[in-house]
Amino acid sequence: MPSYTKDPDAIARLSPEEYYVTQESGTERPGTGALLGNKEPGIYVDIVSGEPLFASSDKYESGCGWPSFTKPIEPAHINELRDTSHGMIRTEVRSAHGDSHLGHVFPDGPQDRGGLRYCINSASLRFVHRDEMEAQGYGDYLNQVEDVT
């Protein structure tokens, strides 16, 4: 299994919005994320560290304005932290190795799929299409990606 780390070169290549979201715990405007409507088969990885976070087969349309997933592809790659900002109590989701702010998790997801909604900023993710997974070192996750188109 590859080693995933917070990559200073990757951070230097981030767009202003990607930097704001991942490094300053920001949030992209709802409905604007490039990956919101993505229905291609593959995995979503941390834009900073490359660690695998979510599979396309666990993505669903929640109507919240951000990509939503029912579970992480690799639970050890997700840290959940108490977030009391903005006068709310929420659970922040960060990548374990890259320490990127990803979004939040809520208990209002599909009950038949575990009941969780991982509400994730597109700006914190890089999508790897199923056809490119092996070449990019993510072949171990191919069995977790089904055709969703």
Q: Is 93 exposed, middle or buried (0-12, 13-18, 19+ CB in 10 A)?
A: buried
Q: Is-contact 49 105, C-beta < 8 A?
A: no
In whole angstroms, give the CA distance from residue 46 to residue 23. Answer: 12
119 is catalytic: yes
Q: Is-contact 126 44, C-beta < 8 A?
A: yes
* Choice among 35, 105, 119, 128 that is catalytic: 119
* Residue 100, token pair as written in the block: 């990127």
Q: Point out the residues that are catalytic.
A: 119
